[in-house]
Amino acid sequence: MNWELTNGTIVTPEHVVHNGSITIGNNKILKVEKKQSGDSKIQIDLNGLIVFPGLINGHDHLLGSYMPRVGARKPYLNWLVWDNDLKSAPVYAERQQIESRDLYLLGAFRHLLCGVTSVHDHIPHFVQDMFKENLSIRLIDNYTLAHSITSFALKWGDSIEMEHRLARERNIPFVAHCSEGYDEETKKSVSVLNEKGALNKNTVLVHGIAFSDDDIKLLEKNECNVIWCPASNIYMFEKTAPVKELIDHKVNVCLGTDSPMSGSVNMFQEIFMAKKYFESTYNTELSAKTLLNMLTINPAKAFSLKNLGTLAAGQLADFVIVNGDKSHPYEAVNTMNYEDIMLVVIDGKPLYGDESFIPLFEALGVSFQKIKVDSFKKIIHGDILGLLDRIRANVGFHKELEFLPVEAW
Ligand SMILES: [Zn+2]
């Protein structure tokens, strides 16, 4: 059954369609147009609400969807020292009592509440494949990988050369943590990738806090992609990637939250950190449009997601409807918070939204639970309340997770 949202402020994100209408059929966008098409039985008036493409989070580890953050010895030399602190932390033992399947569900709901519809969960396929079914969000699952580019990297995937060759042949991303730390080996990561012939448009490098000027030139020349995780980097290393230099050199930069055990609580906080860091470091504005691109068209390009990242006929129907100032619609990416996320649609199916969208869920036959998120009344598809009960039963106390401020109403 086709359905239509009318009178929206549609940010495609290349341009804005004011008083626009978006028609959805099955899992696709059928039309985005200025006028109302009027040929759908179900029509909802958005009264000027802002429609963004579903946000794409370029970096997370869903198994790490737990809190609080770990980091007693920061700033760290590299990820390995932090990982040792993680594994010996009491909160890690607490997390071990929870089934991996439930940690994936926590991570998926964490993102859904923020309008994030696709996530790159950086982990070998054999792990992710066990848990990716029944998640409310889309996991980006077509990639090759390395953990990182040092002798102490976790043994993920085959060799860097083999994984990158496969990515090039299939035109899919090759994803690796890169230049995440201060030690001599970590600082040489980009040179090593270059020597191995592993830098090209399929290469997606996460973090990059130790990128040198020469590294940036190599990334520009080879059309590489970078996932910027400012909250995680500043927390662990008190430093992050030279992001303005990367943008100035036309490197494709995307935004990622990393897991909440080192990174931001949620995508809202990541966006806030990105803007705050950029503007205080470079004394110039990081525009809302640039930020929105880092969450939509840039990651769609980096991860070869041709049917995502924009709102147009033929694209997959992944989008988020946000409350904001319709005369400055891009700015909503900076101002949005839990209360402002009005509807999240993935694959043409509404999965989360404001209570005012109950008629749409009912008309489309989508079941939902009534929840309060940060005290705002919302509805959500899936058993988030049962999940929280299970987590609390597993750990034996009323665990609060800052990224899921959820209760029944
Ligand atoms: Zn990571």
Please tell me whether residues 205 and 91 are part of one structural domain: yes
Please tell me whether residues 207 and 249 are part of one structural domain: yes
User: What's the rounded Cα separation, in Å, for the pair 8 and 46?
Assistant: 5
Q: Does the pLDDT value for residue 322 go beyond 80?
A: yes
Please tell me whether residues 90 and 156 are part of one structural domain: yes
* Distance from residue 26's CA to the centre of ligand 1 (Å): 34
Any domain includes 230:
yes
Identify the three-state secondary structure at position 287.
coil
400, two tokens: 């609060």
**What local confidence, expressed as pLDDT, does residue 130 receive?**
96
Please tell me whether residues 99 and 239 are part of one structural domain: yes
Number of domains composing the chain: 2
Please tell me whether residues 129 and 181 are part of one structural domain: yes
- Kindly report, residue by residue over 138-150, the tens digit of the pLDDT: 999 999 999 999 9
* Distance from residue 123's CA to the centre of ligand 1 (Å): 9
- Kindly report, residue by residue over 48-81, the tens digit of the pLDDT: 999 999 999 999 999 999 999 999 899 999 999 9
* Distance from residue 209's CA to the centre of ligand 1 (Å): 13
Is the pTM higher than 0.95? Answer: yes
Please tell me whether residues 85 and 112 are part of one structural domain: yes
- Whether 347 contacts 138, CB under 8 Å: yes
Any domain includes 37:
yes
Please identify, among 285, 302, 319, the residue that sits at the C-terminal boundary of a domain.
302
Please tell me whether residues 266 and 360 are part of one structural domain: no
**What local confidence, expressed as pLDDT, does residue 134 receive?**
86
Identify the three-state secondary structure at position 205.
strand
* Distance from residue 82's CA to the centre of ligand 1 (Å): 12
* Distance from residue 147's CA to the centre of ligand 1 (Å): 8
Q: Phi/psi of residue 344, each to 5°?
A: -125, 125
Please tell me whether residues 350 and 255 are part of one structural domain: no
Please identify, among 263, 281, 302, the residue that sits at the C-terminal boundary of a domain.
302
Please tell me whether residues 170 and 273 are part of one structural domain: yes
- Kindly report, residue by residue over 330-364, the tens digit of the pLDDT: 999 999 999 999 999 999 999 999 999 999 999 99
- Kindly report, residue by residue over 236-264, the tens digit of the pLDDT: 999 999 999 999 999 999 999 999 999 99
User: What's the rounded Cα separation, in Å, for the pair 382 and 291?
Assistant: 30
Q: Identify the domain containing residue 359 by its residue range.
A: 3-54+309-366
Kindly report the CATH number assigned to the domain that includes residue 210: 3.20.20.140
- Whether 406 contacts 385, CB under 8 Å: yes
> What confidence category does residue 188 fall into, taking pLDDT thresholds of 50, 70 and 90?
very high
Q: How many helices (H) and strands (E) does the chain have?
A: 16, 19
Any domain includes 284:
yes
Count the Cβ atoms, other than its own, within 10 Å of residue 367. 11
* Distance from residue 177's CA to the centre of ligand 1 (Å): 6
* Distance from residue 369's CA to the centre of ligand 1 (Å): 32
Any domain includes 178:
yes
Kindly report the CATH number assigned to the domain that includes residue 322: 2.30.40.10
* Distance from residue 287's CA to the centre of ligand 1 (Å): 26
**What local confidence, expressed as pLDDT, does residue 233 receive?**
97
Any domain includes 385:
no
**What local confidence, expressed as pLDDT, does residue 39 receive?**
79
Please tell me whether residues 156 and 31 are part of one structural domain: no
User: What's the rounded Cα separation, in Å, for the pair 266 and 87?
Assistant: 23
* Distance from residue 148's CA to the centre of ligand 1 (Å): 9
- Whether 46 contacts 8, CB under 8 Å: yes
Q: Does the pLDDT value for residue 38 go beyond 80?
A: no
> What confidence category does residue 35 fall into, taking pLDDT thresholds of 50, 70 and 90?
confident
* Distance from residue 83's CA to the centre of ligand 1 (Å): 11
Question: Percentage of the chain surpassing pLDDT 90?
Answer: 97
Segments of 238-322 assigned E as strands: 252-255, 319-322
Average pLDDT taken over every residue of the chain: 97
- Whether 38 contacts 77, CB under 8 Å: no
Give one DSSP letter per residue of 34-51, joined into a string. Answer: SS-----SEEEE-TT-EE
**What local confidence, expressed as pLDDT, does residue 72 receive?**
86
User: What's the rounded Cα separation, in Å, for the pair 108 and 92?
Assistant: 20
Please identify, among 278, 302, 326, the residue that sits at the C-terminal boundary of a domain.
302
User: What's the rounded Cα separation, in Å, for the pair 357 and 379?
Assistant: 8
Please tell me whether residues 109 and 33 are part of one structural domain: no
Any domain includes 401:
no
User: What's the rounded Cα separation, in Å, for the pair 225 and 37?
Assistant: 38
* Distance from residue 89's CA to the centre of ligand 1 (Å): 18
The predicted model gives 168-194 an average pLDDT of 97
**What local confidence, expressed as pLDDT, does residue 298 receive?**
99
- For strands 138-139 and 42-45, give the pairing: unpaired
* Distance from residue 256's CA to the centre of ligand 1 (Å): 9
Any domain includes 409:
no
Q: Does the pLDDT value for residue 266 go beyond 80?
A: yes
Please tell me whether residues 36 and 72 are part of one structural domain: no
**What local confidence, expressed as pLDDT, does residue 86 receive?**
96
Q: Does the pLDDT value for residue 10 go beyond 80?
A: yes
- Kindly report, residue by residue over 86-132, the tens digit of the pLDDT: 999 999 999 999 999 999 999 999 999 999 999 999 999 999 999 99
Q: What angle do CA 397, 403, 409 make, to 5 degrees?
A: 75
> What confidence category does residue 1 fall into, taking pLDDT thresholds of 50, 70 and 90?
confident
Any domain includes 241:
yes
* Distance from residue 327's CA to the centre of ligand 1 (Å): 37
* Distance from residue 400's CA to the centre of ligand 1 (Å): 24
